Amino acid sequence: MSGLTHYDRTGAARMVDVTRKPATRRTARAHALVRMRAPVLDQLPANPKGNPLEIARIAGIAGAKRTAELIPLCHPLMLTHVDVEARVSRRGVEILSTATTTAATGVEMEALTAAAVAALTIYDMTKALDKSIEISELYLLEKTGGKSGRYQRGGDNSR
């Protein structure tokens, strides 16, 4: 299991020991897409449950703060900033999330969790209009900090 940090020499799952790693500023940005038909998009402002984009934004922030409770081997992090943006596009609702901390481990999972929870919230608030809504394109856009340095999706990630 060489290269996979969440496994020990015997192949057993483990939480990575970050005790000796220095705390550095770390950021991550993630994306998700909630695909829906144009008639559903048109009805978003009139949703009787409230503004789905705003509710999704708040849900994504709350989700990022609970990542370690949801993903068993994630470290609990003191997040210094989380932001979630949900905006309507011709493809559906685009979710962009950002998480920041100063810690010995990264915030990629927090950014991804924020995007996923925001997307699920959009689905929950619109499923009465269309059961075929689809959540897709959940991925890391960028991360900074730590030993591996900067990663940018589609960019040159050499150190």
User: Does some domain include residue 49?
Assistant: yes
Count the neighbouring beta carbons within 10 Å of the beta carbon of residue 30: 30
pLDDT digits (tens, 9 = 90+) for 94-150: 999 999 999 999 999 999 999 999 999 999 999 989 999 999 999 999 999 988 889
**DSSP code of residue 7:** B
Does residue 17 register a pLDDT over 90? no
Its domain, for residue 67, covers 24-144
Of the candidates 8, 124, 130, 156, the residue annotated as catalytic is: 124
Mean pLDDT score, 56-84: 97
The CATH number of whichever domain residue 83 belongs to comes to: 3.30.70.640
User: Does some domain include residue 152?
Assistant: no
| CA angle (122 as vertex; 29, 27 as ends), nearest 5 | 10
Tell me the one-letter amino acid at 24: T
**In the prediction, which pLDDT does 110 show?**
98
Contact 26, 146 (CB under 8 A): yes
User: Active-site residue 124, yes or no?
Assistant: yes
Contact 118, 60 (CB under 8 A): yes
